[in-house]
Structure 1
Amino acid sequence: MEPKPYGAHLAEAGTSFALATAPEAERVEVCLIDDAGGQTCADLARVGEAEGGAARWEAVIPGVGEGQSYGYRVRGPWDPSRGLRFNPAKLLLDPYSLAVSGIYRGEQEVHAYVFGDPAAIDRSDSLGCAMLSIVCDHGEYDWEGDAPPRRPYSETIVYEAHVKGLTELHPEVPLELRGTYRGAAHPAVVGHLTKLGVTALELMPVHQFIEDPILVGKGLSNYWGYNTIGFFAPHNAYSSSGDRGQQIAEFKDLVKAYHRAGIEVILDVVYNHTAEGSHLGPTLSFRGIDNAAYYHLVPGDEFHYMDYTGTGNTLNVGHPLALRLVIDSLRYWVTEMHVDGFRFDLAAALAREDGNVDMVSPFFELVAADPVLSRVKLIAEPWDVGPGGYQVGNFPRQWVEWNGKFRDCVRDFWRGEPGTLRELATRLSGSADLYQDDGRRPSASVNFVAIHDGFTLRDLVSYNVKHNEANGEDNRDGTDDNRSWNCGAEGPTEDPHVLELRSRQERNFLLALLLSQGVPMLSHGDELGRTQSGNNNAYCQDNRTTWIDWEHGDRELLDFLERLGELRKQHPVFRRRSFFDGTPVAPAEGDPLPDIVWLDADGSTMGSNDWDEDWAKSLAFFLNGDAVPGTGGAPRDSDMLVILNAADNDVDYLIPAGPFPAKWETVLTTCAAALVGERTGAGERFTVPARSAVVLEAVPD
């Protein structure tokens, strides 16, 4: 039996409202707000118990229809020392709001306590300042037969993008649509991703979030959006047509447009905390409804919040009420909004039970058993900032994970760090050390070199250190562990040698990313050489620092990535569904070649002593086209030979002979010195230029 729903739902006689509160709540009112800002309030009736001992309140209000603005007032004790923060002067968002109107400006009126005295209740009314929930109806939207593409992970290339930054400067998108859902759905943008070979668009947060008044006071903005206050509502500022429910149809239009192009839509979701922050934050919704159910409070000191996220609070997904909220939200975005999956920000926080990380927590069990959620893509950012929060490789089998180890290792290799070959081979072949023992596949590893958090790809090869002065924190924010290399000059330069090397390094990174086993993920604009001028923490930069500069993009880099994506698409050896069986030993005479062979520069198989030589900065691997799983033993693909040279000198590779193919053709290179189409044979010397990579395909006899 399905549990009774929460939120506002149209009924024959009007609209039904249902809310769960802490059991200590004494009275609940729904307040209907008219266009002049006036309110009409009606009591909800307490009708019984809800999840985890909470109280359920209900009412049907006649004459209320679609587009009505509303909020709740909840009366009860003000006793922060016991975790009780009721304040009926504060108009509260419905936790199940499908759309939200208005913005948060940080006024005293939306804070339940008196500024300067966190224990004292503030009785000023927030009406006129509060964000409002909207009554919505999904019934009339025409999906026109929309169907999810449902691509397997092995066929997936993810493109991480920001709704606004994607189109704010796009010359083909009409001005009135730039920075909106409709702008992101414009044919010019969809066509760009299609040509790039992208199969999944991962949108940075689109759940309703709020601004940080401190940032606004500095002329900055909460641009990234990791500050959610509405887990069902599309962010209203990304709507081109209004915030009274229009944002829902616009978001659906976006999903429909990408599905038509065969591209999935994945949401970056932030269920680990809310925008209400610490005990000094505003009371916008959850805090004034059931503070102890929705948040982890400090044991023995319930005035304060446990902070495993670095944001001031942590959503208590271990409580049945908060857990249901998250599960209901996820199901809503799949069933009503047709999204294809989720990337969970700081996902380790969702596994915290009594402060400890537990990968068999109720959240993961419910997701695994849910007939809707178990069928969509589930991507974890496998860490949080609390104790024991680094959980790379530990998530349940049906999950895949952002692989930070891939990023760090590939960055180290291409900047010339010694002793990286052993780990590099592990990362390029799918990170079996992290995922194989759990029965998972190489696709459990979502590989990336650059994402929204950190340097862009262009900045990774242009800066040795961060340059975050524009963030207003004296360059203290953002990580210092960038593993970057500026190629000989810090920042902008006219030196042609430095510029050529940077371009080559960008291509090297992209080649390693796209031709590794696992799911490659690109960060928006990296294909065009997007720069943030060395800012590695641009969360607050809603300006040209973070927007894609389409007009001045690097077309040569874009062309290279398109060819690289096509190479991956054409050759299943680069996107296997199972881990390699090949071991670092030479095959015996007469034996078939393994599925992968790691090779030294002299054409021999890498020996146990070769992997850890500090001076060794190049590596080659052979991929057997006859040994791709799922072929029934029949040939399915070409043999491929990939050579990576991170040394600052050219390296002569002896093309392997014996059981290996006799002839090879260069099909891709990151260095202009080697020409695509050149042929070479077994036993011949093949020069791989300094800091470059080449891909050779076997030529049939």
Structure 2
Amino acid sequence: MTSLGATAIENGIHFAVWSSSARRLLVSIFDDTGTREIDRLELNPEGEGVHALFVPSLVAGTRYGFRADGDYAPERGLWFDPDKLLADPYAVKIDRPYQYHWRLAAKRNEGADTASLMPKAVARNLPQPLSIQTPLFRPGGLIYELNVRSFTKLHPDIPEAQRGTLAALAHPAVIEHLQRLGVSAVELMPITASIDERHLPPLGLSNAWGYNPVTFMALDPRLAPGGLKELRDTVATLREAGIGTILDLVFNHTGESDRLGPTLSLRGLDAQAYYRHMPDGRLANDTGTGNTLACDHPVVRQMVLDTLRHFVRHAGVDGFRFDLAPVLGRIDGTFDPDAPLLQAIAGDPVLADRVLIAEPWDIGPNGYQLGNFRPPYLEWNDCYRDDVRRFWRGDAGAIGALATRLAGSSDVFGRTGQPVSRTVNFIAAHDGMTLADIVAYEKKHNAANGEQNRDGHNDNLSWNNGVEGETDDLEIARARFGDQCALLATLFASRGTIMLTAGDEFGRTQKGNNNAYAQDNAITWLDWARRDEALEQYAASLSAMRRAFPALSDTHFLTGEPPDGSDVPDVAWLTETGAPLGEADWNDPARHRLVMILGDSGGGRLAVLVNGDRRQCVFTLPVRDGYEWRPAIEAQAIDLARPLPGRSVNFMIERGIETARAGKGS
């Protein structure tokens, strides 16, 4: 197939766009300001749905958009309207952000031309592809999920003009923070061009998260005013610091929404092909956003692959996280783990070694697919999130589930006989309550979203120590700090890949808002000036310990047997008295304590002491001749002869006595 989009070549620009059912396709050429249409040219059909035209004398930097004419019958999935200027699905740059206006959704012949409302695509020569390097990130590492704007908007060390942009992530102060936390890769929430949902502007709100895309390759000018070069340079700087970059991409829907939504790009070009429809002609809505991309269509599949290759070749990213990923694997509406698109991504020569992470659920039929993706896809593990929260909330009978999650969730990812876990463990993510809010708010507080607190999940598995929200009570503050430490320690003690959302390491709060997608303000902007430095230091210490003891990040499932080259079992599960946990212990609904002892191939051992009870407890660990137990985190003044505090996680490392003495004196 002809290369789609606008390709600047010698003496002109080649335009190409795909539609299987438009009668006419045109390209509109605009002046250098993008405000005046100076030409409108019809493209020539070239077969297989491609319409193309070479326009001599045009140069890189030309602003343009497409128009399509044909039948207008939305009930049959036909939305052709030549008064709608359409964004090029293959645009790599746009000249300004998308902004919602009611005329973008007007019916044919009921609204004026939309060119004045639409960003213009900018034709350009792409830089030479990068030399593709092996991703820095490997399963078992620490992913740091962040929103570019909210992460840097209030950072005092970043120049004000740079705050809220991709370039800010390359600032030395940010790099130092990420390195201190031991971040393996940053996962950037969507940075491609998106549009506000139509109900937000009347409320004075805007989409702060970016999960409402229009064009898939073009970066949002607000986040990347320097365009592709800004992303490329930032990725390179992070890589020099030993930190990979993962892009969170949305290929499940677009900002064109439901039948009342705006016509911006794919809908106006060929809605029948680009979107899935129900038998009665209605748009399928497996995403809850009004439409669903038809990822089983060959042209959509090719567009997704071309987008991923673009970001690897021209920006050097390590990989991708796929929002509502079952949509990518739906064939005629039914999820298939061997769907052509999923296989094509995993088998593509450019993409095969990239980090691939699936959010394994959507709201369509059989949309919950946790554990059902094939290797090499990693998966967000909400079972981990929920079971860890249940345990620390104090739910009865949660000890067995906690152990399973600590060990890598073999019940989920070992069902097909795979020897390794594909879990991405997390306790909090961008959607839902923050880590600090989990321990301070039993119920959501979403009134600021303008939907009378109806939006967002109702069951957060959260709790509050005292009065919800802020308090000056010292004991309550201590209890909340302790619970945050326990949750962080559990995360860093868990086998497999782990994910921490930016700011949770220093106690960020959204005041109980568990669906803050529309809060581009102080609710979501990280307050660097008021961060909890003690909690931040503890998170950094946990990360250092995890890196020092590789058994914590190992993705292989535990067997209870010694690994090769060792006489120490890879795991032992004990009670607080040092006895093996028996069936009665596992089934005891009142049990809230356990010890996990991990062994490594070198014969070393690490003990994770979990006390989920509010009462203090003395823990006893098995002792070997010539070895002794010492705190694995120096900040923890652990004396096993004294009671360990309730609702805490502590770590002890076993070392040879002579080695320990030599280390102490060195």
- Please, what TM-score do these two structures have when normalized by structure 2? 0.95
Give runs of aligned pairs for residues 161-560 of structure 1, distance below 5 A: 161-240=146-225, 246-299=226-279, 301-302=280-281, 304-440=282-418, 442-560=420-538
CA gap of 1:79–1:276, structure 2 versus 1, over 3 A, is same
Deviation at 1:146, TM superposition (A): 8.4
In structure 1, what is the Cα distance between the partners aligned to 2:653 and 2:177? Answer: 28
Partner of 1:239, secondary structure, is coil
Matching residue of 1:27: 24
Deviation at 1:326, TM superposition (A): 0.9
Matching residue of 1:602: 577
In structure 2, what is the Cα distance between the partners aligned to 1:74 and 1:661? Answer: 79
Query: 2:622 aligned with 1:656, yes or no?
Result: yes
In structure 2, what is the Cα distance between the partners aligned to 1:39 and 1:90? Answer: 16
- Which of 609, 614, 624 aligns to 1:643? It is 609
Question: What letter corresponds to residue 41 of structure 1 in structure 2?
Answer: R
Question: What letter corresponds to residue 32 of structure 1 in structure 2?
Answer: I
Greater Cα offset, 81-90 or 121-130: 121-130
Deviation at 1:286, TM superposition (A): 0.3
CA-to-partner distance for each residue in 1:616-650, whole Å, 9 max, x for gaps? 0111111123xx3xxxxxx2x63111110111111
Question: What letter corresponds to residue 526 of structure 1 in structure 2?
Answer: D
Deviation at 1:430, TM superposition (A): 0.5
Q: Residues 655 and 686 of structure 1 are in contact (CA less than 8 Å); yes or no, is this contact kept in structure 2?
A: no
What is the RMSD of the two structures over their aligned residues, measured on CA atoms?
1.9
Deviation at 1:149, TM superposition (A): 4.5
Matching residue of 1:77: 71
Partner of 1:208, secondary structure, is coil
In structure 2, what is the Cα distance between the partners aligned to 1:619 and 1:39? Answer: 73
CA-to-partner distance for each residue in 1:473-503, whole Å, 9 max, x for gaps? 1111111111111122211111111111111
Partner of 1:61, secondary structure, is strand
Deviation at 1:686, TM superposition (A): 5.0
Matching residue of 2:14: 16
CA gap of 1:661–1:576, structure 2 versus 1, over 3 A, is farther
Matching residue of 2:61: 67
Partner of 2:216, secondary structure, is strand
In structure 2, what is the Cα distance between the partners aligned to 1:398 and 1:496? Answer: 47
Partner of 1:374, secondary structure, is coil
Q: Residues 7 and 96 of structure 1 are in contact (CA less than 8 Å); yes or no, is this contact kept in structure 2?
A: yes
Question: What letter corresponds to residue 76 of structure 2 in structure 1?
Answer: R
Partner of 1:560, secondary structure, is helix
- Which of 117, 141, 144 aligns to 1:159? It is 144
Greater Cα offset, 85-94 or 350-359: 350-359
CA-to-partner distance for each residue in 1:446-489, whole Å, 9 max, x for gaps? 00011110111111111111111111111111111111111222
Q: Residues 641 and 697 of structure 1 are in contact (CA less than 8 Å); yes or no, is this contact kept in structure 2?
A: yes
Deviation at 1:189, TM superposition (A): 0.8
Matching residue of 1:624: 599
Matching residue of 1:631: none
Matching residue of 1:668: 633
Q: Residues 456 and 532 of structure 1 are in contact (CA less than 8 Å); yes or no, is this contact kept in structure 2?
A: yes
In structure 1, what is the Cα distance between the partners aligned to 2:612 and 2:186? Answer: 31
Question: What letter corresponds to residue 621 of structure 1 in structure 2?
Answer: M
Give runs of aligned pairs for residues 98-117 of structure 1, distance below 5 A: 98-113=92-107
Deviation at 1:420, TM superposition (A): 0.7
Instruction: In structure 1, list runs of 5 or more residues that go unmatched.
Output: 50-54, 114-119, 241-245, 629-634
In structure 2, what is the Cα distance between the partners aligned to 1:376 and 1:259? Answer: 15
Greater Cα offset, 268-277 or 365-374: 365-374
In structure 2, what is the Cα distance between the partners aligned to 1:147 and 1:362? Answer: 26
Partner of 2:235, secondary structure, is helix
Partner of 1:32, secondary structure, is strand
In structure 1, what is the Cα distance between the partners aligned to 2:101 and 2:444? Answer: 34
Query: 2:43 aligned with 1:44, yes or no?
Result: yes
Matching residue of 1:615: 590
Deviation at 1:438, TM superposition (A): 3.0
Question: What letter corresponds to residue 517 of structure 1 in structure 2?
Answer: R
Deviation at 1:148, TM superposition (A): 5.0
Query: 2:113 aligned with 1:125, yes or no?
Result: yes
In structure 1, what is the Cα distance between the partners aligned to 2:128 and 2:579? Answer: 66
Deviation at 1:139, TM superposition (A): 2.8
CA gap of 1:148–1:549, structure 2 versus 1, over 3 A, is farther
Matching residue of 1:95: 89
Q: Residues 106 and 213 of structure 1 are in contact (CA less than 8 Å); yes or no, is this contact kept in structure 2?
A: yes
Q: Which has the higher strand share?
A: 1
Q: Residues 147 and 259 of structure 1 are in contact (CA less than 8 Å); yes or no, is this contact kept in structure 2?
A: no
Partner of 1:234, secondary structure, is coil
Matching residue of 1:117: none
Greater Cα offset, 436-445 or 289-298: 436-445
CA gap of 1:99–1:465, structure 2 versus 1, over 3 A, is same
Question: What letter corresponds to residue 30 of structure 2 in structure 1?
Answer: I
Matching residue of 1:632: none
Partner of 2:90, secondary structure, is coil
- Please, what TM-score do these two structures have when normalized by structure 1? 0.90
CA gap of 1:565–1:328, structure 2 versus 1, over 3 A, is same
In structure 2, what is the Cα distance between the partners aligned to 1:478 and 1:660? Answer: 55
Partner of 1:492, secondary structure, is coil
In structure 1, what is the Cα distance between the partners aligned to 2:254 and 2:513? Answer: 26
Partner of 1:558, secondary structure, is helix
Matching residue of 1:688: 644
In structure 2, what is the Cα distance between the partners aligned to 1:187 and 1:148? Answer: 24
Deviation at 1:140, TM superposition (A): 7.1
Question: What letter corresponds to residue 416 of structure 1 in structure 2?
Answer: G
Query: 2:541 aligned with 1:563, yes or no?
Result: yes
Deviation at 1:123, TM superposition (A): 5.2
CA-to-partner distance for each residue in 1:239-270, whole Å, 9 max, x for gaps? 34xxxxx3221111211111111111101111
Matching residue of 2:663: none
Instruction: In structure 2, list runs of 5 or more residues that go unmatched.
Output: 658-666
Q: Residues 578 and 622 of structure 2 are in contact (CA less than 8 Å); yes or no, is this contact kept in structure 1?
A: yes
CA-to-partner distance for each residue in 1:327-385, whole Å, 9 max, x for gaps? 11111111112111111000011111112111111111211221111110000000001
In structure 2, what is the Cα distance between the partners aligned to 1:150 and 1:306? Answer: 38
Q: Residues 148 and 338 of structure 1 are in contact (CA less than 8 Å); yes or no, is this contact kept in structure 2?
A: no
Q: Residues 215 and 221 of structure 1 are in contact (CA less than 8 Å); yes or no, is this contact kept in structure 2?
A: yes
Matching residue of 2:661: none
Q: Residues 105 and 213 of structure 1 are in contact (CA less than 8 Å); yes or no, is this contact kept in structure 2?
A: no
In structure 1, what is the Cα distance between the partners aligned to 2:336 and 2:167? Answer: 40
Q: Residues 30 and 72 of structure 1 are in contact (CA less than 8 Å); yes or no, is this contact kept in structure 2?
A: yes
Question: What letter corresponds to residue 43 of structure 2 in structure 1?
Answer: L
Q: Residues 258 and 264 of structure 1 are in contact (CA less than 8 Å); yes or no, is this contact kept in structure 2?
A: yes
CA-to-partner distance for each residue in 1:284-310, whole Å, 9 max, x for gaps? 0001111111001111x22x2010000
Question: What letter corresponds to residue 692 of structure 1 in structure 2?
Answer: S
Question: What letter corresponds to residue 622 of structure 1 in structure 2?
Answer: I
Question: What letter corresponds to residue 8 of structure 1 in structure 2?
Answer: A
In structure 2, what is the Cα distance between the partners aligned to 1:196 and 1:266? Answer: 17
Greater Cα offset, 422-431 or 73-82: 73-82
